[in-house]
Chain A
């Protein structure tokens, strides 16, 4: 029982990371109806920027927030410079652009920082908190950071005029233009936010998986499974899905062997697509013909 509890808790901790990346995926999906395959690599690259800052003796939290700002600006830039010129192309071209971005970020990271793995510091203390042995301090800390990020994102979309405009632009671009919203900028802003959220996830997961150019590969897959499980067009669902996938993955890893962990993600993806394509919280699309 203790073992199960322990695994569920640490599953929630990694699940938080999946939830953040899943949320980033859903944000871009809602605006463009496409899955940004480069999301993980952008997060990885941001984590390297944080690492560089820390190497240059910037204190951890300074580097953390500076990285978020840089990631945001980078996301906006990628949308403006690379995605925007092809935004009206066929879906397949866009998917190829995303895969191209994935490869480019991965190779540039490898070229600048080499493929050797690097340790990445955790901002949280290393001794167990309050003598508990169920959950490590980094796991607990990163879970809190994730929850804070999710709460901020939720409040932004729910309570600010800009958040409302972004939701409106994703839903009905034509009407949004007719009330004066600059829809193109809303999309760029969405990319900026998504890459900032991804950056936080990258910095939280790097102390666990170590920093290397391929560190987000598996995570993107789990996050994608989480987003699908929750419903690819539901931000709240993506978060719940991310946490669920984290827990399922960990529990399966213990009782059936850790070789099966990655298969779990694929089983979830296939199962959702077969049984309930709209996910747990997604809207079922019905079209009148």
Chain B
């Protein structure tokens, strides 16, 4: 097995005096998809924020073997971590095209960037039709596509996805997850997916961790968790 692209050990995180994560651990394999499941308030979003330095943390975060804990967010992003935040983080007053250009902000390889625009339109043809439109006027599904595209424009090593299914119609969610699978297969981007929709996430991922109030309670291959009836009943509710 190759070295994991992301390793997290004994990670604590807090907002002011409130502790949210209590020493969690997990890994994302190079080219793999890891999902973190859990109920509301389990600490899923905080986990992603902790990885890219948006909250105060203690513990170890290694990106490709290099310590990144305590680094400013911008620097972590420049090392190849793209984050699709909860709420999508769209630049509402910029056009769709400008949003995509912002995604490629740190890149200097112009020709590759142009090729990547085309690659993204092949995944999300609808964005090409909306290029000149203000991003705030897009529908929820389109904004999620835009958020994922913006993150992909960075050419990340690791893509962090924060509840991409949130607030979207089931058909749109299906389509979006198909595209995640295609992106992972085509370009080998590793993904860390946080989801409430456990059934969907377990189908996409190869490794899974279950969070409960800031602690990892179960971990294993996605397949074994999917097939473990007792876990499914007591934690995942399907």
A176–B154 Cα distance when bound, in Å, is 12
Question: What are 7 contact pairs spanning A and B, CB under 8 A?
Answer: A164-B98, A168-B102, A172-B90, A172-B92, A179-B106, A179-B154, A180-B154
Q: Kindly state whether residue A181 has any CB partner on chain B within 8 Å.
A: yes
Taking Cβ atoms with an 8 Å cutoff, the residues of B that contact A are: 52, 54, 72-74, 77-78, 82-83, 85, 89-94, 98, 101-103, 105-106, 150-151, 154
Size category, A interface? 10 to 19
A23–B174 Cα distance when bound, in Å, is 47
Give the Cβ gap from B25 to chain A, nearest Cβ, in Å: 24
Q: Which of B73, B82, B98, B151 has the most chain A CB within a 10 Å cutoff?
A: B73
Q: Is the CB of A178 within 8 A of B85?
A: yes
**B-chain residues with CB within 8 Å of residue A149 when the two chains form the complex:** none
Q: Kindly state whether residue A258 has any CB partner on chain B within 8 Å.
A: no
Q: Is the CB of B85 within 8 A of A180?
A: no
**A-chain residues with CB within 8 Å of residue B92 when the two chains form the complex:** 171-172
Give the Cβ gap from A84 to chain B, nearest Cβ, in Å: 14
Q: Is the CB of A175 within 8 A of B89?
A: yes
**A-chain residues with CB within 8 Å of residue B94 when the two chains form the complex:** 164, 167-168, 171
Q: Kindly state whether residue A177 has any CB partner on chain B within 8 Å.
A: yes
A18–B54 Cα distance when bound, in Å, is 40
Q: Is the CB of B91 within 8 A of A181?
A: no
**A-chain residues with CB within 8 Å of residue B98 when the two chains form the complex:** 164, 168
A175–B82 Cα distance when bound, in Å, is 11
**B-chain residues with CB within 8 Å of residue A180 when the two chains form the complex:** 74, 77-78, 105-106, 154
A251–B115 Cα distance when bound, in Å, is 57
Give the Cβ gap from A31 to chain B, nearest Cβ, in Å: 14
Q: Is the CB of A168 within 8 A of B91?
A: yes
Q: Kindly state whether residue A257 has any CB partner on chain B within 8 Å.
A: no
A240–B78 Cα distance when bound, in Å, is 40
A175–B72 Cα distance when bound, in Å, is 14
A167–B135 Cα distance when bound, in Å, is 14
Supplied contacts A179-B77, A181-B74, 14 more A-B pairs, CB within 8 Å:
A164-B94, A165-B105, A168-B91, A168-B98, A172-B91, A174-B89, A175-B85, A175-B90, A176-B102, A177-B72, A178-B82, A179-B103, A180-B78, A183-B74
A164–B77 Cα distance when bound, in Å, is 18
**A-chain residues with CB within 8 Å of residue B89 when the two chains form the complex:** 172, 174-175, 178
Q: Kindly state whether residue A161 has any CB partner on chain B within 8 Å.
A: yes
Q: A6-41 CB contact bits vs B (8 Å, 1 = yes)?
A: 000000000000000000000000000000000000
Q: Kindly state whether residue A182 has any CB partner on chain B within 8 Å.
A: yes
Q: Is the CB of A178 within 8 A of B83?
A: yes
**A-chain residues with CB within 8 Å of residue B102 when the two chains form the complex:** 164-165, 168, 175-176, 179, 181
Q: Is the CB of A179 within 8 A of B73?
A: no
**A-chain residues with CB within 8 Å of residue B103 when the two chains form the complex:** 179
Q: Is the CB of B91 within 8 A of A178?
A: no
Give the Cβ gap from A107 to chain B, nearest Cβ, in Å: 37
A61–B52 Cα distance when bound, in Å, is 48
**A-chain residues with CB within 8 Å of residue B150 when the two chains form the complex:** 179
A177–B89 Cα distance when bound, in Å, is 11
**B-chain residues with CB within 8 Å of residue A175 when the two chains form the complex:** 85, 89-91, 102
A176–B150 Cα distance when bound, in Å, is 11
Q: Which residue of B lies closest to A182 (CB)?
A: B74
A167–B101 Cα distance when bound, in Å, is 13
**B-chain residues with CB within 8 Å of residue A179 when the two chains form the complex:** 77, 102-103, 105-106, 150, 154
Q: Which residue of B lies closest to A185 (CB)?
A: B74
**A-chain residues with CB within 8 Å of residue B101 when the two chains form the complex:** 161, 164
Q: In residues 64-78 of chain A, which contact B (Cβ within 8 Å)?
A: none
**A-chain residues with CB within 8 Å of residue B54 when the two chains form the complex:** 174, 177
Give the Cβ gap from A275 to chain B, nearest Cβ, in Å: 25
Q: Which of A174, A175, A182 has the most chain B CB within a 10 Å cutoff?
A: A175
